[in-house]
């Protein structure tokens, strides 16, 4: 909440965006409790009709803070807000929420650059659920092996997988079993029939569920466009537009390839994963029990990798250190699941294991990065399902997954 309050204090337009049902409206209403403001939702037919009929009059309906919920339903409001702000640039004029990346919508050609600041909501992180703010990203990029090395864990492998299968959306976290599955099924249906149609004119929106399932099945894997396009029955030349739509709707996220000129043989394919591992698990019909050792499914490694990527992406929103997420892989077989790089080019490497017994071999590609990057390499971490933090050499640690949020 504090970040949104900060932007309202010095910026005309604050954009609070993220996937549907991550809590944007709830947060916006909480911020309004002690403010003179008007709240309107474009999910209401009358408000939608009024906004569509006259966007300029709609954004000028009050001198107080105007909160517009689900603004992606009427992209013309973006242009109208730009014009209103040009007339009156006082901070805190508009707070808009969107279940899509508002500034990338067709129909919102007028940029709010210099007039708006975006705050992204990704659903609950594990630290938020436990009532505290995580600092793993800051600690890792500071090379604080002492603090991180003191973080032991108490959860079992099955419990970590239960967390991943529950996901980050507030509503399904309060449900279990069939009721949770029903929520995820209805959620996908709503996104396809309502939100996707609001923001896109693509020809085959009915094939988005198949595309989502395919991406969930290969979660955290490198994107092979020809195979995905063929299986989803989408023309390969059109596939980037469909992938961009899923990113715009905050259903997926991409990890670009990172190479830093370490070798000319670095692969450039991104990794694509669903942002919420609960949704990915449901689309794959996965449960923690189905991913137990010896069970039929071998998806535990991919789910845990996506789980960590999602937790890190949430932490980047409030971390003191500005940073981005990548993955590294070269054609010789060297691969690091996640590379975190700060703006000043400090690097942390992250690997994931689905077992509780890390070994020296699990660090071999982190050692490659460490030796090539020298002082820029701050830490290499292998997350595992055991309970102990174990040092494995210079700037190398094996940590339980819970070290992300404890």
Whole-number Cα distances in Å, 119 to 17, 28, 158, 314, 318: 6, 12, 33, 11, 10
pLDDT number for residue 270: 85
pLDDT number for residue 262: 59
Show the 3-state SS of 149-184: CCCCCCCCHHHHHHHHHHCCCHHHHCCCHHHHHHHH
Q: What is the DSSP string of 268-310?
A: -PPEEEES-HHHHHHHTT--TGGGSTTSS---HHHHHHHHHHH
**11-45: burial string, b at 16+ Cβ within 10 Å, e else:** bbbbbbbbbbbbbbbebbeebbeeeebeebbbeee
The two tokens of residue 162 are 């239960």
Bridge partners for 381 per DSSP: 350, 397
8 A C-beta contact, residue 369 and residue 328:
yes
CA distance 174 to 181: 12
Could you tell me the mean pLDDT of each successive run of 10 residues in the chain, 406 residues long? 84 91 89 89 94 96 94 89 92 91 61 81 93 96 97 95 95 93 92 83 88 84 83 91 91 86 64 92 92 81 94 94 93 90 97 94 96 96 97 97 96
8 A C-beta contact, residue 224 and residue 81:
no
The two tokens of residue 69 are 């919920």
pLDDT number for residue 110: 58
CA distance 66 to 14: 11
CA distance 115 to 151: 42
A 10 A CB-CB count for 342 gives 20
Smallest CA-to-CA distance from 140 within 387, 351, 334 is with 351
pLDDT number for residue 106: 53
pLDDT number for residue 112: 72
Long-range contact pairs involving 280-286 (C-beta distance under 8 Å, separation at least 24): 280/216, 280/219, 280/306, 281/164, 281/165, 281/167, 282/180, 282/181, 282/184, 282/185, 283/184, 283/188, 283/212, 283/213, 283/216, 283/217, 284/213, 284/216, 284/217, 284/219, 286/165
- Total residues found in the chain within this entry: 406
The two tokens of residue 238 are 């059109």
CA distance 346 to 363: 19
pLDDT number for residue 125: 95
CA distance 185 to 80: 36
Q: What is the CATH number of domain 2-120?
A: 3.40.50.300
pLDDT number for residue 220: 63
Smallest CA-to-CA distance from 173 within 182, 163, 187 is with 163
The two tokens of residue 204 are 């085959």
Residues 6+ apart with CB under 8 A from 399: 148, 149, 151, 153, 381, 382, 383, 384, 389
Domain boundaries, the chain: 2-120, 126-404
């Amino acid at each position: 909440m504090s970040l949104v309050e900060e932007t309202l204090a010095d910026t005309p337009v604050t954009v609070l965006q993220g996937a549907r049902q991550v809590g944007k409206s709830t947060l916006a209403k909480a911020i309004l409790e002690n403010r003179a403001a008007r709240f309107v939702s474009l999910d209401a037919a009358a408000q939608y009709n009024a906004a569509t009929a006259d966007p300029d009059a709609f954004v000028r309906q009050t001198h107080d803070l105007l909160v517009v919920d689900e603004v992606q339903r009427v992209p013309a409001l973006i242009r109208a807000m730009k014009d209103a702000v040009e007339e009156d640039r006082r901070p805190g004029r508009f707070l808009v929420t969107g279940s899509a990346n508002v500034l990338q919508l067709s129909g919102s050609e007028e940029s709010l650059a210099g007039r708006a600041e975006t705050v992204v909501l990704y659903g609950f992180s594990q630290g938020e659920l436990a009532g505290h703010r995580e600092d793993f990203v800051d600690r890792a990029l500071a090379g604080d092996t002492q603090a991180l090395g003191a973080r032991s864990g108490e959860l079992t492998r099955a419990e970590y997988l239960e967390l991943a299968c529950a996901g980050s959306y507030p509503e399904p976290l309060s449900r279990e079993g069939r009721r949770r599955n029903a929520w995820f099924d209805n959620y996908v249906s709503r996104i396809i029939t309502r939100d996707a149609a609001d923001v896109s004119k693509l020809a085959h929106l009915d094939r988005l569920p198949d595309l989502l399932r395919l991406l969930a099945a290969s979660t955290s894997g490198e994107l092979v466009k020809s195979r995905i396009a063929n299986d989803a029955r989408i023309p390969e030349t059109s596939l980037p537009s469909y992938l961009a739509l899923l990113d715009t709707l905050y259903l997926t996220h991409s990890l670009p390839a990172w190479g830093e000129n370490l070798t000319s043989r670095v692969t450039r394919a991104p990794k694509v994963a669903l942002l919420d591992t609960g949704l990915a698990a449901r689309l794959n019909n996965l449960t923690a029990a189905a991913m137990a050792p010896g069970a039929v499914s071998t998806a535990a490694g991919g789910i845990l990798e996506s789980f960590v990527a999602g937790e890190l992406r949430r932490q980047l929103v409030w971390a003191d250190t500005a940073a981005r997420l990548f993955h590294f892989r070269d054609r010789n077989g060297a691969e690091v699941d996640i590379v975190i790089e700060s703006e000043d080019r400090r690097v942390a490497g992250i690997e994931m294991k689905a077992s509780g017994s890390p070994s020296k071999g699990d660090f071999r590609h982190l050692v490659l990065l460490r030796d090539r990057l020298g002082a820029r390499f701050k830490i290499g971490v292998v997350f595992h399902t055991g309970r102990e933090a174990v040092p494995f050499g210079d700037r190398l640690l094996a940590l339980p997954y819970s070290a992300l949020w404890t």
